[in-house]
Chains A and B, each alone.
Chain A
């Protein structure tokens, strides 16, 4: 009865909400989806991370090179404006992404150490700061607030001038915000390692560090507001909706969660998981989807399949995702209605996930060969698929019958990595491969390192996810069987914990390759002239293109 009531209530609320929010918005869907292209730019693929030969193959795959590439090209004036827009964001983007990559490497090492400690419990046990209970949250906070957030904001700052077709305004607010943010992350992790954690998962940073993140996060969103005022586009592309909402949501979420002296006992637990899931749903997911919604059609040179569907996806995500957190407390000492509400909304998440999945699949379908030529697409399309998987898995995991098995086990950890790594990190990798050549006006120095990165993280993550999911499931079944001693649920996981360490080691190696490549690119002295990579297909003469062997 309770279930039915909250179901009807949420469905009704949703329709009222969507009707009121989108009136007039669906008016010009065709126009909306084409905002990412300059006039006459459609049909031109853009992939700065690919070699000139692969760029030509990509273009051929999309529109048939026999015809000599796209029939029309964007004007020189539009191209100049594009270059100016790209340059306007270069400083803050470079700052955010450089620190993001640094945190990725540190966070991976902490993660690998935690993983090894679970099957080598006497390893590195002499010092307090190296104990599992401090290294594990250091890993989480380094990859969440260090890597993922800064990568997401870096890519967002780069997307803003592109989406609004003007130069980035207020970049120095973002720089100040990023500096505060980094100080907060470094200080927060130092606090965890030295025994000053607040004790709340996902919110371990003590109050001073949390203040830095709140203020830094808010500052990093300022350029969007300022640039929005000067936008040269009538229509706000769907990515702007996602970015704008995310940059608004995060400081509010984080401030409510860290409000001093307010939260207590079980209320604090519900707040904890309200935050824990909203930071995924209202921060990382919209940042990741904003990037996917831009780069997939941009690389392919073709608008997304259904623009209406993308906006429906946005509003349903905002509505449902924000209320799913209670499913982390199923079976716990919390009010029943709260759990029920969260389970219902977790299932309703199928709507926005379906909207994204259909849209992105239908955009790419028929062009899967393009993935061979475009590193950006390879990472992002894979990431988008993982988004669908992670979300559907999450909806199923919220069902009481499934949750009874998976709750309290490593299965949940595997699921969290499917979302934050399989989806978010993959989308960020792809985005960074696209963005950096535009930021530095320089090519990636070694194509082989991109491939190495891809195969190490994909292979490593497959081992990680499959291994840990099986191990977690068996752990849950053993724990539910009263005839088996508790230790049986520990013993059964051991081979899978070892597999996770193997997968994690490969992922870490991939990150080292990526990090080395990233900084090699920054510190490379070779300044390439405006070659094919600099502005894609356009700067190649027709003659060059036809000489590329296909």
Chain B
């Protein structure tokens, strides 16, 4: 074999296979999904919800929680209260995507419909085992401040069940905790979508 024929084959072959894969798995989805409009029932995130979403991202909730209920034909996700199978349009405002690949904890795509209480969500973040016995979710005490003595009027304390409460200590959510809960309470995708959209494109 003479000269640089091997090098030429190596480079063109490697680029060709990669180009094929980029076309199939990146470019095609890009063009097919680019025009997808958000469903009527889906509202854009508010500023606070976006801040909360950033907390969700930086504290890595995605490593244990998915946001993509599966079809009832495949898994009983809907029966568990996780909602109808999601469609591409449901994610129109999501950047970065948070579909997730683990269900060490439950799917959260409709957590707002399942647990709409702000108190529950704040308390659960402060100490998950106080609300769900046997939970292996980390507690997030750093999203809260513990105050001894009286608190300022109008500040809403976190409702900590007696077995986890420290005597004389009031637990107050930080702004980050409130933002995160605001984001979680925006996760309600129970509005109807055309199932045709599920199969599209």
**Do chains A and B interact in one complex?**
yes
At the interface, yes or no: B10 with Cβ under 8 Å from chain A? yes
A487–B134 touching, CB < 8 Å:
yes
Report A-chain residues with C-beta under 8 Å of the C-beta of B71.
Answer: 331
Report B-chain residues with C-beta under 8 Å of the C-beta of A270.
Answer: 25-26, 29
Which segment, of A76-84, A143-151, A173-181, A193-201, faces chain B?
A: A193-201
Which segment, of B44-52, B84-92, B115-123, B154-162, faces chain A?
A: B84-92
Residues of B5-24 whose CB lies within 8 A of A: 5-7, 9-11, 13-18, 20-22, 24
A408–B101 touching, CB < 8 Å:
yes
A404–B75 touching, CB < 8 Å:
yes
Which segment, of A19-27, A366-374, A390-398, A503-511, faces chain B?
A: A19-27
- Distance in angstroms from B74 CB to nearest chain A CB is 5
Q: Which of A127, A341, A404 contacts B24 (CB under 8 A)?
A: A341
Report A-chain residues with C-beta under 8 Å of the C-beta of B106.
Answer: 486
A408–B138 touching, CB < 8 Å:
no
Which segment, of A104-112, A242-250, A423-431, A462-470, faces chain B?
A: A242-250
Residues of A2-57 whose CB lies within 8 A of B: 13, 17, 21, 24-25, 27-28
B25–A326 touching, CB < 8 Å:
yes
- Distance in angstroms from B174 CB to nearest chain A CB is 11
B136–A490 touching, CB < 8 Å:
yes
Instruction: For the complex, give the distance between the alpha carbons of A413 and B101 in Å.
Output: 10
B14–A133 touching, CB < 8 Å:
no
| A134-B59, A268-B97 known; A249-B14 Cβ under 8 A | yes
Instruction: For the complex, give the distance between the alpha carbons of A426 and B134 in Å.
Output: 37
B103–A479 touching, CB < 8 Å:
yes
Residues of B85-140 whose CB lies within 8 A of A: 85-88, 90-106, 128-129, 132, 134-140
- Distance in angstroms from A203 CB to nearest chain B CB is 9
At the interface, yes or no: B68 with Cβ under 8 Å from chain A? yes
Report B-chain residues with C-beta under 8 Å of the C-beta of A248.
Answer: 11, 14-15
At the interface, yes or no: B191 with Cβ under 8 Å from chain A? no
Report A-chain residues with C-beta under 8 Å of the C-beta of B14.
Answer: 244-245, 248-249, 318
At the interface, yes or no: A269 with Cβ under 8 Å from chain B? yes
B138–A117 touching, CB < 8 Å:
yes
Which segment, of A65-73, A155-163, A233-241, faces chain B?
A: A233-241
- Distance in angstroms from B39 CB to nearest chain A CB is 12
B59–A128 touching, CB < 8 Å:
yes
B60–A265 touching, CB < 8 Å:
no
A482–B24 touching, CB < 8 Å:
no
Instruction: For the complex, give the distance between the alpha carbons of A253 and B21 in Å.
Output: 10
Report A-chain residues with C-beta under 8 Å of the C-beta of B80.
Answer: 482, 486
Quick one: closest B residue to A134, CB to CB?
A: B60
A331–B21 touching, CB < 8 Å:
no
Report A-chain residues with C-beta under 8 Å of the C-beta of B24.
Answer: 323, 338, 341
At the interface, yes or no: B33 with Cβ under 8 Å from chain A? yes
Quick one: closest B residue to A494, CB to CB?
A: B136
- Distance in angstroms from A355 CB to nearest chain B CB is 16
Report B-chain residues with C-beta under 8 Å of the C-beta of A17.
Answer: 13, 16-17
- Distance in angstroms from B133 CB to nearest chain A CB is 8
Residues of B30-54 whose CB lies within 8 A of A: 30, 32-34, 36
Which segment, of A118-126, A292-300, A451-459, faces chain B?
A: A118-126
Instruction: For the complex, give the distance between the alpha carbons of A362 and B127 in Å.
Output: 57
Quick one: closest A residue to B71, CB to CB?
A: A331
Question: How does the 8 Å CB contact mask read for A189-233 relative to B, with 1 for contact and 0 for none?
Answer: 000000111111100000000000000000000000000100000
| A132-B63, A490-B136 known; A266-B97 Cβ under 8 A | yes
Residues of A438-486 whose CB lies within 8 A of B: 479-482, 486
Report B-chain residues with C-beta under 8 Å of the C-beta of A241.
Answer: 10
Residues of A406-434 whose CB lies within 8 A of B: 407-410, 412-413
Report A-chain residues with C-beta under 8 Å of the C-beta of B104.
Answer: 118, 410, 490
B29–A131 touching, CB < 8 Å:
no
B62–A201 touching, CB < 8 Å:
yes
Report B-chain residues with C-beta under 8 Å of the C-beta of A328.
Answer: 101
Which segment, of A271-279, A516-524, A539-547, faces chain B?
A: A271-279
A271–B29 touching, CB < 8 Å:
yes
Q: Which of B20, B62, B70, B88 contacts A265 (CB under 8 A)?
A: B88
Quick one: closest B residue to A118, CB to CB?
A: B136
Report B-chain residues with C-beta under 8 Å of the C-beta of A331.
Answer: 68, 70-71, 74-75
At the interface, yes or no: A315 with Cβ under 8 Å from chain B? yes
Instruction: For the complex, give the distance between the alpha carbons of A438 and B106 in Å.
Output: 52
| A199-B98, A266-B91 known; A322-B134 Cβ under 8 A | no
At the interface, yes or no: B28 with Cβ under 8 Å from chain A? yes
Q: Which of A28, A336, A408, A497 contacts B103 (CB under 8 A)?
A: A408
B141–A265 touching, CB < 8 Å:
no
B96–A268 touching, CB < 8 Å:
yes
A198–B30 touching, CB < 8 Å:
no
Instruction: For the complex, give the distance between the alpha carbons of A409 and B105 in Å.
Output: 10
Q: Write the residues of chain B forming the contact surface with A, with a CB cutoff of 8 angstroms.
A: 1, 5-7, 9-11, 13-18, 20-22, 24-26, 28-30, 32-34, 36, 57-64, 66, 68, 70-71, 74-76, 79-80, 85-88, 90-106, 128-129, 132, 134-142, 198-201
4 tightest A-B contacts by CB?
A133-B60, A322-B21, A482-B76, A195-B58
18 A-B residue contacts at CB 8 Å?
A: A118-B136, A121-B128, A122-B138, A125-B139, A125-B141, A197-B58, A201-B101, A244-B7, A245-B14, A248-B11, A264-B94, A326-B25, A333-B91, A335-B201, A342-B25, A409-B102, A490-B104, A497-B136
Q: Write the residues of chain A forming the contact surface with B, with a CB cutoff of 8 angstroms.
A: 13, 17, 21, 24-25, 27-28, 117-119, 121-122, 125-128, 131-134, 136-137, 195-201, 228, 234-236, 240-241, 244-245, 248-249, 252-253, 256, 262, 264-274, 278, 282, 315, 318-319, 322-323, 325-326, 328-329, 331-336, 338, 341-342, 400, 404, 407-410, 412-413, 479-482, 486-487, 489-491, 494, 497
Q: A265-B88, A274-B22 are in contact. List 20 more A-B contacts (CB 8 A).
A: A121-B129, A121-B138, A121-B139, A125-B139, A126-B142, A132-B63, A137-B60, A201-B63, A235-B1, A240-B10, A264-B97, A274-B26, A282-B18, A323-B24, A325-B25, A342-B25, A408-B101, A480-B76, A489-B103, A490-B134
